Homo-oligomer: A and B are copies of this chain.
Amino acid sequence: MDTLQLDLVLAAMAHPSRRRMLDLVSSMPGMSVTAVASHFDVSRIAVMKHLRILETAGLITSRKKGRVRHLFFNPIPIQLVYDRWTTQYAGFWAGRMADLKTRIEGRAGTEELKSA
C-alpha cells in the first residue's frame, strides 16, 4: 500500500461522521445515499461529499440501480492500514503482548542515543 493510498484512507477515517457512515453502510449493505443522510443533521450534499471521500479512499463502493445509488462497505483498505501498522511497529507490539518488562529492559540502553 503506497503512502498516497494510506493517506486517503486515514484522512477519510479521521472524521467522526464518516466513521459513523461506515458503521451504517456496513450494518445495512446496499443502503441509499438518502437513507444515510437521514441519520445526520447536516445536508444531503454534505453527506454526499463525505461518501465521495470514503469512496475515493476505497472504503465504500457503490452501484447505481435506476435513480438509486447503493452503497457497500469495503474493509480491505482498513486491513491494509493495520497490517502495515502492526508490521511497522512489530517490535513494540510483540513486546507489549509478550512481556512489557522484558521489552523495557531490553531497550533501556537505546534511550541514551545521541541526537546529534
A contact set with B: CB distance below 8 Å: 3, 6-7, 10-11, 13-14, 16, 19, 23, 26, 28-32, 34-35, 68, 70, 73, 75-76, 78-79, 82-83, 85-94, 96-98, 100, 104-105, 107, 110-116
Residue contact A114 to B86, C-beta cutoff 8 Å: no
Cα(A100)–Cα(B98), bound, Å:
15
Which of the residues B10, B30, B116 comes within 8 Å of A87, measured between beta carbons? Answer: B116
Which of the residues B28, B70, B89, B116 comes within 8 Å of A75, measured between beta carbons? Answer: B89
Residue contact A96 to B113, C-beta cutoff 8 Å: no
Task: Report the copy number of this chain in the oligomer.
Answer: 2
Cα(A76)–Cα(B113), bound, Å:
20
CB contacts (< 8 Å) of A34 on chain B: these are 115
Residue contact B104 to A79, C-beta cutoff 8 Å: no
Known: A75-B89, A96-B75, A96-B76. A35 touches B116 (CB 8 A): yes
Residue contact B14 to A10, C-beta cutoff 8 Å: yes
Distance between A98 CB and nearest chain B CB, rounded to angstroms = 7
Residue contact A82 to B107, C-beta cutoff 8 Å: no
